[in-house]
């Protein structure tokens, strides 16, 4: 099958074209349903769409009237050598073709507006839906591949709407009108002209049967390439640190070849359409000239030279709409492939769907209770009957080896995931009965990977509470020990940052996220490796800021460096999703259990350094 062969070295001659349509994964799942959904967006512009259709009707009618009048002119004036009335006929032809041109201009102008508004709504709905999806959806997918759906796939739909809607209406009207005029002039020549249809149908069927799956495959390869590019650009430090440039380049080359291969064959096979149509067009002209000439010299026939000229022009107009319909069908298949990927995201269940009856939480004391909580990612169990209680204002630290379940507990507290069995309550209320937005409005997060937006330092801090004043922003920065380094920057709080925080250190970025947490004034605080990879001096500043931030707030802390959590009210040691030990630092040290061994092991490592 093609998808499997695409993984091989790039060799055009080895692709068995007859097998393209056997790849079920590449086929459109519901072409009719996807087209119907696109139409539902187009229908929002009914008034403009009606005007476009009116212009299409006018342009299609005039495109038939012009050749008809030329043919009549040949019979009435050129053959008979009469001149009376020829000037008026020429004026009418000028008027007809002028109106024809204006109608085409207007229909294209209005259709561009319709297409842009349609794509604007589609892109807005998709982006809106992105922010209603659960974290688990993004955890399982490359971000670049998802970005490709917002950009490339929707642009594909946009290009199709700009071209196809007018062409389809125009081609259908022109086709019907052409056949009616041809039948009126000469049924026999009409049959001759239409004799190419069976060959055309078989050729188009062979082509479109292969291009549909190929367009689907091309969009998939494009999404994978974009995802890989986004991943490698984001991970440049890691790539260079481990000197993996050549491996990354080779992996990109393979994905790039996959896209080149699927793109080559989708464009090559779809390119057969105009060649086939031109060949059939020439055949049609030859048949009309031959049969029409024989009929014209026959005394019993009503076919004249003018009729033959009209038929020659109408034959071109007959094959042109067929050609355009075939091309548009091919383009629509490409758009459907992109639209299906867009609608696949929009059909994902929103995060809010499971909390229709959930309620707002006006205030909270921060009292948590875990009761025999079990949870697993898909088929992999992570937490196995976790139970513990947290009083208001207490700080709880989770320790344990990687994969023990520390981050999973944080994800459940934040409702990034819902637990499977057991119960988690906040102030006695099951957190599943609290709206996520309401729950998280009482929380602030300081994570290991601090994320900063492409904006000023002031606005990055204010992100914690958008209605905060400039004075409150500065006050939060002072509490977070960030004011000093901000003041020394050339533009101070108006310094522009990007998401990587270029221009400031990792520790300074962390101080900004702490300031963001301060300004949010949360009741619940979550710290996930907040002091990892920080130099000693900055760590002291961060620890001081965190101590002040944690005062009076229920705090959950994840830390691998155990010397940073000695003052926590409770420490819970996890192994393989189970609680092995819990208590404060002194209690756990007196037990001389696993925490004791872990702490002394880290202490010895520090002493050795």
SS3 at position 261 = helix
Pairing relation of β-strands 443-446 and 524-528? parallel
- What confidence score (pLDDT) does residue 20 get? 43
| Host domain of residue 425 | 368-442+554-609
The two structure tokens encoding residue 524: 């619940």
Question: Which range in 10-24, 56-70, 321-335, 548-562 is most confidently predicted, on average pLDDT?
Answer: 548-562
The two structure tokens encoding residue 79: 């053959």
Residues 166 and 309 in one domain: yes
The answer on pLDDT for 123 being more than 90 is: no
The answer on pLDDT for 461 being more than 50 is: yes
d(CA 145, CA 147): 5
| 450 part of a folded domain | no
Choosing from 351, 379, 412, the residue where a domain stops is 351
Choosing from 288, 318, 351, the residue where a domain stops is 351
d(CA 23, CA 543): 57
Looking up residue 94, the CATH number of its domain turns out to be: 1.20.1560.10
Residues 84 and 198 in one domain: yes
- What does the pLDDT average to over 32-60? 84
The answer on pLDDT for 326 being more than 70 is: no
State CA 74 to chain mean position distance: 57
pLDDT band per the 50, 70, 90 thresholds, residue 250 = confident
- What confidence score (pLDDT) does residue 578 get? 92
- What confidence score (pLDDT) does residue 22 get? 36
Rounded (10°) CA dihedral 245, 248, 253, 255: -160
- What confidence score (pLDDT) does residue 8 get? 35
pLDDT band per the 50, 70, 90 thresholds, residue 458 = very high
- What confidence score (pLDDT) does residue 470 get? 92
- What confidence score (pLDDT) does residue 75 get? 65
Residues 139 and 230 in one domain: yes
| 240 part of a folded domain | yes
pLDDT band per the 50, 70, 90 thresholds, residue 11 = very low
d(CA 433, CA 442): 15
Instruction: Tell me the helices (H) and strands (E) count for the chain, helix number first.
Output: 22, 12
The answer on pLDDT for 15 being more than 80 is: no
| 474 part of a folded domain | no
The answer on pLDDT for 567 being more than 60 is: yes
- What confidence score (pLDDT) does residue 241 get? 61
Question: Which range in 175-179, 305-309, 560-564, 592-596 is most confidently predicted, on average pLDDT?
Answer: 592-596
pLDDT top residue among 62 and 181: 62
What sign does the CA torsion over 585, 589, 591, 596 have? positive
Residues 250 and 395 in one domain: no
Give the percent of the chain with pLDDT over 70.
Answer: 83
pLDDT band per the 50, 70, 90 thresholds, residue 49 = confident
The answer on pLDDT for 19 being more than 50 is: no
The answer on pLDDT for 517 being more than 80 is: yes
Question: Which range in 3-17, 59-73, 100-114 is most confidently predicted, on average pLDDT?
Answer: 100-114
- What does the pLDDT average to over 110-126? 86
Lowest mean pLDDT among 145-154, 191-200, 220-229, 325-334: 325-334
pLDDT top residue among 506 and 492: 492
- What does the pLDDT average to over 442-458? 83
- What confidence score (pLDDT) does residue 353 get? 60
pLDDT band per the 50, 70, 90 thresholds, residue 76 = low
- What does the pLDDT average to over 49-59? 86
What mean pLDDT is reported for the chain?
Answer: 79
Looking up residue 604, the CATH number of its domain turns out to be: 3.40.50.300
pLDDT band per the 50, 70, 90 thresholds, residue 533 = low
Give the percent of the chain with pLDDT over 90.
Answer: 12
- What confidence score (pLDDT) does residue 207 get? 75
Please provide the size of the chain in residues.
609
Q: Which residues contact 286 (CB under 8 A, 6 or more apart)?
A: none
**pTM (predicted TM-score):** 0.64
| 537 part of a folded domain | no
pLDDT band per the 50, 70, 90 thresholds, residue 1 = very low
The answer on pLDDT for 7 being more than 50 is: no
- What does the pLDDT average to over 309-330? 69
Integer distance in angstroms from the first to the last C-alpha of the chain?
57
Question: Which range in 11-15, 110-114, 211-215, 394-398 is most confidently predicted, on average pLDDT?
Answer: 394-398
Choosing from 351, 380, 399, the residue where a domain stops is 351
Q: Are 333 and 164 in contact (CB under 8 A)?
A: no
pLDDT digits (tens, 9 = 90+) for 137-147: 887 777 777 77
Please report where in the chains the tokens 């073709």 appear, as a residue: 97
- What confidence score (pLDDT) does residue 531 get? 65
Q: Report phi then psi at 223, rounded to 5.
A: -65, -40
Residues 127 and 273 in one domain: yes
| 47 part of a folded domain | yes
Residues 321 and 233 in one domain: yes
Residues 372 and 339 in one domain: no
| 57 part of a folded domain | yes
Residues 313 and 399 in one domain: no
| 433 part of a folded domain | yes
- What does the pLDDT average to over 363-374? 92
Residues 201 and 253 in one domain: yes
Number of domains in the chain: 2
Q: Are 453 and 499 in contact (CB under 8 A)?
A: yes
The answer on pLDDT for 501 being more than 60 is: no
Residues 297 and 437 in one domain: no
* Residue 359, beta-bridge partner list: 434
Residues 347 and 372 in one domain: no
pLDDT band per the 50, 70, 90 thresholds, residue 370 = very high
d(CA 330, CA 336): 10
| 528 part of a folded domain | no
Residues 345 and 375 in one domain: no
Nearest by Cα to 127 from 151, 162, 144: 151
pLDDT top residue among 76 and 390: 390
The answer on pLDDT for 302 being more than 50 is: yes
- What does the pLDDT average to over 285-304? 70
- What does the pLDDT average to over 230-237? 73
């Amino acid at each position: 099958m093609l998808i499997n062969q695409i993984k091989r070295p790039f060799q055009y001659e080895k692709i068995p074209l007859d097998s393209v349509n056997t790849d079920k994964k590449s086929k459109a799942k519901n072409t009719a349903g996807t087209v119907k959904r696109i139409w539902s967006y187009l229908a929002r512009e009914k008034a403009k769409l009606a005007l476009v259709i009116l212009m299409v009707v006018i342009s299609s009618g005039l495109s038939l009237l012009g050749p008809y009048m030329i043919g009549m002119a040949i019979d009435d004036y050129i053959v008979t050598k009469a001149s009376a009335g020829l000037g008026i006929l020429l004026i009418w032809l000028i008027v007809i073709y002028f109106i024809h041109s204006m109608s085409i201009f207007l229909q294209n102008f209005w259709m561009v507006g319709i297409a842009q508004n349609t794509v604007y709504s589609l892109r807005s709905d998709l982006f809106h839906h992105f922010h209603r999806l659960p974290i688990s959806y993004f955890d399982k997918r490359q971000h670049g591949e998802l970005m490709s759906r917002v950009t490339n796939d929707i642009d594909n739909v946009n290009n199709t709407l700009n071209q196809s809607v007018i062409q389809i209406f125009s081609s259908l009207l022109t086709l019907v009108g052409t056949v009616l005029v041809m039948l009126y002039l000469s049924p026999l020549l009409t049959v001759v002209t239409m004799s190419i249809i069976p060959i055309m149908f078989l050729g188009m069927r062979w082509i479109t049967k292969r291009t549909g799956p190929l367009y689907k495959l091309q969009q998939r390869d494009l999404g994978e390439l974009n995802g890989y590019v986004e991943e490698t650009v984001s991970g440049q430090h890691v790539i260079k640190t481990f000197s993996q440039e050549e491996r990354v380049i080779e992996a990109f080359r393979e994905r790039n070849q996959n896209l080149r291969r699927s793109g080559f064959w989708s464009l090559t096979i779809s390119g057969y359409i105009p060649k086939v149509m031109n060949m059939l067009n020439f055949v049609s002209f030859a048949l009309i000239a031959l049969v029409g000439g024989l009929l014209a010299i026959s005394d019993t026939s009503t076919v004249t030279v003018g009729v033959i000229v009209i038929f020659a022009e109408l034959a071109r107009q007959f094959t042109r709409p067929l050609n355009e319909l075939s091309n548009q069908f091919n383009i629509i298949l490409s758009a459907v492939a992109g639209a299906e990927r867009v609608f696949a995201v929009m059909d994902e269940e929103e995060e809010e769907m499971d909390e229709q009856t959930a309620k707002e939480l006006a205030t909270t004391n921060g009292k948590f209770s875990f009761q025999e909580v079990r949870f697993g990612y898909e088929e992999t169990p992570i937490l196995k009957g976790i139970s513990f209680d947290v009083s208001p204002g207490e700080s709880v630290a989770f320790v344990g080896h990687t994969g023990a379940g520390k981050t999973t507990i944080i994800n459940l507290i934040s409702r990034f995931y819902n637990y499977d069995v057991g119960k988690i309550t906040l102030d006695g209320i099951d957190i599943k009965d609290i709206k996520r937005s309401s729950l998280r409005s009482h929380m602030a997060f300081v994570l290991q990977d601090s994320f900063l937006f492409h904006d000023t330092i002031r606005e990055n801090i204010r992100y914690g509470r958008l209605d905060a004043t400039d004075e409150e922003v500065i006050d939060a920065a002072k509490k977070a020990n960030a004011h000093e380094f901000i003041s020394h920057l050339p533009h101070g709080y108006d310094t522009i940052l990007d998401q990587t925080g270029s221009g400031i250190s990792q520790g300074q970025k962390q101080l900004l996220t702490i300031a963001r947490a301060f300004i949010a004034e949360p009741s619940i605080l979550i710290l996930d490796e907040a002091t990892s990879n920080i130099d000693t001096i900055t760590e002291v500043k961060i620890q001081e800021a965190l101590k002040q931030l944690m005062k009076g707030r229920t705090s959950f802390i994840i830390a691998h460096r155990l010397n940073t959590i000695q003052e926590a009210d409770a420490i819970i040691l996890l192994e393989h999703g189970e609680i092995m030990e819990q208590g404060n630092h002194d209690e756990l040290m007196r037990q001389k259990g696993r925490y004791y061994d872990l702490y002394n092991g880290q202490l010895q490592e520090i002493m050795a350094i």
